[in-house]
């Protein structure tokens, strides 16, 4: 947990800088909408200008995500039994749980601040990549509601760590793992969380049900939001795919390395995470 906490402090500095730049940009130019990709491409090809600032925003996001993935991989190795799993199962669990973990371990304000310019009171502001896209705005409203629901649970640090571990170890995603050892770890973590709730609540199973309901909602949201993330074209407008860790993060959104497990990229992913 100290690794994650230190990363949050570092990332919050990035948030503050991003929000200040957003404020200054809006004061100078007003509310700017994201240009259509074809128009942006034409301007860039002719002038070399990052007309709506998407490349700079994406690089800020990439820097944030690299720190996050490194912190997440280190957190995962602290979960009892995780390091004894097959390396491919480790990569699979990290790869397909990362976005849910992003919310549950307190990165929600950080992610919003850098990507969506939401303020620290969890209110989503209009910014370039959202303005004018009703579906995207509605998705962000849902995201903020999930963040608020999580905060309203008022979990202790121990409970948050266990909840994050449960998110990591869930074996039943679309790209899940069949390891009996992973399933056993997942079951034991859930039992530990219920045990902690018994210490604080007169109706611990009711509290546990709230947690499970939120987890299910976030997983559904994460699945639905992938198409919106795909539409932002990080693969085209940033250097993310040149970074093994970031390419791993975007796997499952723009492509899926596990469909061809012997690819060079997949091997990079496994080595990158294993060496953190």
Give residue limits of the domains in the chain: 2-274
- For 252: left if phi > 0, alpha if psi spans -120 to 50, otherwise beta; the answer is left
pLDDT tens for 170-195 read 988 877 788 999 999 999 999 999 99
DSSP 8-state code for residue 115: I
In which residue ranges of the chain is pLDDT below 70? 1-33, 103-133, 249, 251-252, 255-276
Q: What is the pLDDT of residue 161?
A: 87
> Residue 211 phi/psi, 5° resolution?
-65, -45
Q: Contact, 96 vs 180, CB < 8 A?
A: no
Strand partners, 251: 255
Q: To which CATH superfamily is domain 2-274 assigned?
A: Retinoid X Receptor (1.10.565.10)
Q: What is the pLDDT of residue 86?
A: 92
Q: Contact, 61 vs 14, CB < 8 A?
A: no
Closest by CA to 78, choosing from 180, 179, 203, 164, is 164
Q: What is the pLDDT of residue 195?
A: 96
Q: What is the pLDDT of residue 267?
A: 46
């Amino acid at each position: 947990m100290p690794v994650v906490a230190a990363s949050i402090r570092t990332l919050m500095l990035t948030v503050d800088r991003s929000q200040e730049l957003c404020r200054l940009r809006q004061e100078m130019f007003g509310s700017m909408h994201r240009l259509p990709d074809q128009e942006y491409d034409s301007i860039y090809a002719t002038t070399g200008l990052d007309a709506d600032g998407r490349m700079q925003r994406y690089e800020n996001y990439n820097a944030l995500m690299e720190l996050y993935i490194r912190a997440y991989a280190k957190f995962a190795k602290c979960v009892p039994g995780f390091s004894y799993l097959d390396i491919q199962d480790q990569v699979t669990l990290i790869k397909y749980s990362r976005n849910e973990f992003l919310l549950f371990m307190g990165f929600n304000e950080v992610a919003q601040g850098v990507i969506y310019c939401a303020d620290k009171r969890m209110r989503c502001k209009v910014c370039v990549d959202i303005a004018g896209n009703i579906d995207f705005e509605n998705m962000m409203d849902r995201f903020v509601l999930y963040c608020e629901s999580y905060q309203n649970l008022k979990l202790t640090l121990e409970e948050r760590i266990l909840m994050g571990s449960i998110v990591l170890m869930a074996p039943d995603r679309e790209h899940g793992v069949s390891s009996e050892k992973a399933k056993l770890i997942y079951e034991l973590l859930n039992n530990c969380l219920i045990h902690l709730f018994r210490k604080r609540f007169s109706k611990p199973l009711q509290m546990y049900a709230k947690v499970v309901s939120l987890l299910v909602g976030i997983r559904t949201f994460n699945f639905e939001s992938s198409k919106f993330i795909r539409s932002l074209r990080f693969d085209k407008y940033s250097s993310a795919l040149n970074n093994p860790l970031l390419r791993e993060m975007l796997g499952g959104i723009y492509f899926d390395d596990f469909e061809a497990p012997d690819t060079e990229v997949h091997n990079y992913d496994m080595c990158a995470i294993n060496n953190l």
